[in-house]
Homo-oligomer: A and B are copies of this chain.
Amino acid sequence: MTVSLSSLRGDGDAFTDGCPTRVVLDHVTSKWGVLVLAALADGTLRWSELRRAVDGISEKMLASTLKTLERDGIVERVAHPVIPPHVDYSLTDRGRDLMEAMSPLLLWVAANADDIVPSG
């Protein structure tokens, strides 16, 4: 029985509608959130690098995903006042902590995806 997930139950937990846990869980496990975080796990990237790293993301989604993660204190945005603009994104300490917790999941998915989805 792995780690005691039952400890999640009881008070303000993920099983209660509208609690902070649900909100953060949604941010962190959102379609693009996971991929952006995984891309930043390797280190600082700038906007255009992120766009290329996360294949298929639109500018709109990249912007809103980054904004949400920044508000949550998971991603840090550093804008350099130069022409042309140069903006760096990286994980905060909290973000790095999060990625340590999330990497087992990402590795599991990478290892099992081909068994689960037959051809495509």
- Report which A residues bind B (CB closer than 8 A): 1-3, 5-8, 12-21, 23-26, 28-31, 34-35, 38-39, 41-42, 53-56, 72-74, 94, 96-110, 112-117, 120
Given A29-B29, A39-B15, A99-B5, residue A21 in contact with residue B113 (CB < 8 A): yes
Given A34-B29, A97-B108, A109-B28, residue A120 in contact with residue B20 (CB < 8 A): yes
Residue from the list B23, B56, B99 in contact with A113, Cβ < 8 A: B23
Q: From residue A89, how far is it (CB to closest CB) to chain B in Å?
A: 16
Q: From residue A32, how far is it (CB to closest CB) to chain B in Å?
A: 11
The 4 nearest A-B residue pairs measured at CB? A17-B56, A101-B108, A29-B29, A20-B117
